[in-house]
A and B are shown apart, each in its own frame.
Chain A
């Protein structure tokens, strides 16, 4: 392992341990930073300590104590605090696993706005630098830095606790933690059409956080559901685009290149997540993704069950986007016309995937002129380059074929 790996893996844990001890976010951050800097200087020369994490925590703790001592000197306060600090140094050198959990609940506290929750989680638990987070979310660095400063000030001034919420609040608060992790994942996943490594990294970070959450809250089925969902998506990551960066649809992806380990790990979590009621939305989505991942060929996809699961999901989460996905599943299970009919009731203005889906169903039905109209509609709304290229390609295809086949039909319609 390199020091870089260690930083990424342990930064959050070391920081969390210090925040629990001293309660001061910024003081703790400075100290952890200083400890890693010290490691960078000392370890290559003197060799790695037997327990690097303990070394980092104890070094960081000494830095905090030094800082506090200086503060005390300036404020001319007496021995009492010094003794207190010495005592603090003596015991409890290990990072408690619960510290990471406390930290993520503090970072994702609903009193903070979602963008601040995301930035803070990546910064503290992921050890991502301000510039990295800014780049990943395409936000100017000063804006992101400001967001972090404000969030930390609010944690301090508003008294946001460094604690795992008790049972009554856990459900609601966990929801916010899961949403933040999924947002981090999606930010990386949607971007993986491009090849910006920082954003691809976000997926790995989200999965790491998901695994941590499952380890620390093993009884929370939705945490497992989310982890499974991310693993299922991630297992297909390498096959979603070709060498040119163009989109490869699910049915055309090379299934032998899907990551079997991730599919297996995800499937195991889904089983636990689906056990018992009420069912969670992440678990149901993961189950849908699993049915895709487990089909050996596109033709073997169990669209019946996928449509049923989407209906279940729609009952839990009646949003137009879920309705759109359900319509696609119905089209594949019960026939394309049935799917088209479903689309009539969905209102999603400005969302390119609605006309794109309609266009695709029309194309499969051979109604190519109509398909072209809706591809053009979708092209007006699409923002992502790879998706635009895909839609343009499909439009050219249906226009070429429509010219070949459909001209007489078009003529007869008028007649």
Chain B
């Protein structure tokens, strides 16, 4: 099965971290991704630019309008995502729990990919 690991963090919190800590997290992050590629789990993913750069489309009164920002209710923002091929949820959770931003307050949502739309 394929799972999407959606990595979220409060951007203000992330930007407030000391440079050295952010670098350490990202180094570990790259190492983990390399490992997932090598082990054959990795199907793709990306880190996203900050929500400041986001544009949201929404239909209002039958017209699609373009809006600045995501206007997310939650304090956490999607910072990046990965799609991994795993035997079952436990294997996916095993990978997800190693995602480094977890240790600085981030969260990871794990969702199975609809088999008809596999990557």
Which residues of A are interface residues toward B (Cβ below 8 A)? Answer: 109, 111, 157-161, 163, 165, 169
Contacts and interface: CB of A to CB of B under 8 A. Distances in A.
Interface stretch (B9-17, B31-39, B62-70, B87-95): B87-95
Contacts of B88: 159-161, 163
B112 A161 contact: no
A134 to B, nearest CB: 27
B90 A157 contact: no
Contacts of A159: 1, 3, 86, 88-89, 92, 112
B112 A157 contact: yes
Interface string B80-119: 0000001111101110000000000000000110000000
Q: Name, among A111, A157, A158, A163, the residue most crowded by chain B CB atoms within 10 Å (CB to CB).
A: A158
A160 B87 CA distance: 10
A124 to B, nearest CB: 18
Contacts of A169: 90, 94
21 contacts: A109-B89, A111-B93, A158-B89, A158-B111, A158-B112, A159-B1, A159-B86, A159-B88, A159-B89, A159-B92, A159-B112, A160-B88, A160-B89, A160-B90, A161-B87, A161-B88, A161-B90, A163-B88, A163-B90, A165-B90, A169-B90
A109 B93 CA distance: 12
Nearest to B112: A158
Nearest to B97: A169
Interface in B1-48: 1, 3
A45 to B, nearest CB: 44
Given A159-B1, A160-B88, 12 more contacts: A111-B89, A111-B93, A158-B89, A158-B111, A158-B112, A159-B3, A159-B86, A159-B112, A161-B89, A163-B88, A163-B90, A165-B90
A169 B90 CA distance: 9
A164 to B, nearest CB: 11
A158 B111 CA distance: 7
A158 B112 CA distance: 5
